[in-house]
Amino acid sequence: MSRRIDWPTVRARVIALEEARRTARGLEPSPYPVFEPVLTRAQISEVEAQHGVALPDDYRTFLAEVGAGGPGPTIALTSLRRIDGRWGWVWDDDESQPWPLDATGPFVETEDWPAHQRATLRAAGHEPTVRHPQYDYWADYRQAFGDAASETWHLDRGRGAIHIGDNGCGMTGWLIVVGPHRGELRDRDCGINPPFDPYLDTHGNPHTFGTWYLEWLEKRESAGRA
């Protein structure tokens, strides 16, 4: 049975930690809120309708009861905002390049990614060449898609998932919203073609958004008590 999370209490705990951190550093209270405003049920439904997807329940509740962005594993969560009438996930406060969720197909797991690339290339009329040991068929994408290769590659690689977190140094967290692993998270290192590794709890089970966020919070609290 999944663990029920009291999200309003989680919100209060995170705010208390942030305030204690500033106090310990001799800083004045921040004039900015710790979390971005919560979203209304109508706004969340608008997000889902725009992208044609049902968000995982624990993330949906987080948006409604905690905030649409704020502190989180490992550094910060991306912020869900409406920009020019469209909803997208913003990283590092850069609203010029929100993550445009593509929910038209399931998230492609790392072991299935090479075959997916070959199928995409063949659908574009390009026969794949020899797979590179590190970059797979990136060179073929450049030949097949020209100036659109980078966008095509990265959007296809993140299809069915939300860029959910900033882990620092170009590393990112992803929440799967389409496919057999819907609700699970993946960790991506920086680089052109790194693997997407599952976030696992202490028992080796895949994290959901809720268990992932709560584990991070509990570790922060424990570190503060040490």
Kindly indicate the confidence band of residue 76, based on its pLDDT and cuts at 50, 70 and 90.
very high
Kindly indicate the confidence band of residue 1, based on its pLDDT and cuts at 50, 70 and 90.
very low
Kindly indicate the confidence band of residue 103, based on its pLDDT and cuts at 50, 70 and 90.
very high
Inside any domain, residue 61: yes
List helix spans (H) across the chain.
7-24, 41-51, 57-65, 113-123, 138-145, 149-157, 209-225
Q: What is the CATH number of the domain that holds 83?
A: 3.40.1580.10
**3 state SS of 9:** helix
The domain tally of the chain equals 1
Inside any domain, residue 21: yes
Inside any domain, residue 142: no
Inside any domain, residue 168: yes
> How confident is the model over 168-186, as pLDDT tens digits?
888 999 999 999 999 999 9
Residue 201 belongs to domain spanning: 7-107+158-225
The DSSP result for 195-223, as a single string, is -EEEPB-TTSPBPBHHHHHHHHHHHHHHH
The pTM (predicted TM-score) of the whole model is 0.94
- Dihedrals phi, psi of 123, to nearest 5 degrees: -65, -25
C-alpha neighbours within 13 Å on the C-beta side of residue 15: 15
- Mean pLDDT confidence for 69-93: 94
Inside any domain, residue 15: yes
Inside any domain, residue 189: yes
Spatial CA neighbour of 179 closest among 151, 194, 156, 160: 160
